[in-house]
Amino acid sequence: MFKNITMSQFSTLDTTAIHILDVREEDEFKAGHIEGAKNAPLSRLTMLYAELDTSKAYYVICHAGVRSVQAAMFLESVGFEVVNVLEGMNGWQGPIVR
């Protein structure tokens, strides 16, 4: 079973040294995301996951933590190491890229 971390735990990580997978839709991602995050909308994840590197661990984030659970479950089922970020971007207090 994949690991869950809180936003307060996630915010202590060096986001430039980890792999963040933002599963919000493209318009949400463009409105503001964590620098370095890769966008793979949940609605297209079953097609896009093949582009991801299975040797990397991904921190999966969405808006409020619901879609990221679904994405983490799927990614884990196809062999990825994932960590679900609870609260999602709704709880992120750091800088964002638009």
d(CA 58, CA 52): 9
Q: What is the pLDDT of residue 92?
A: 97
How is the beta sheet containing 57-61 ordered, strand by strand? 3-5, 81-85, 57-61, 19-22, 38-39
Which of 21, 42, 62, 85 is the catalytic position? 62
Q: How many domains does the chain have?
A: 1
Active-site residue 74, yes or no? Answer: no
Decide if 25 is inside a domain. yes
Q: Show the domain range for 85.
A: 3-91
Beta strand ranges found along 1-98 (DSSP E): 3-5, 19-22, 38-39, 57-61, 81-85
Q: What's the pTM?
A: 0.97
CATH of the domain at 71: 3.40.250.10
Instruction: Supply 45's token pair.
Output: 């994840």
pLDDT by residue for the chain (98 residues), tens only, comes to 999 999 999 999 999 999 999 999 999 999 999 999 999 999 999 999 999 999 999 999 999 999 999 999 999 999 999 999 999 999 999 999 99
Decide if 23 is inside a domain. yes
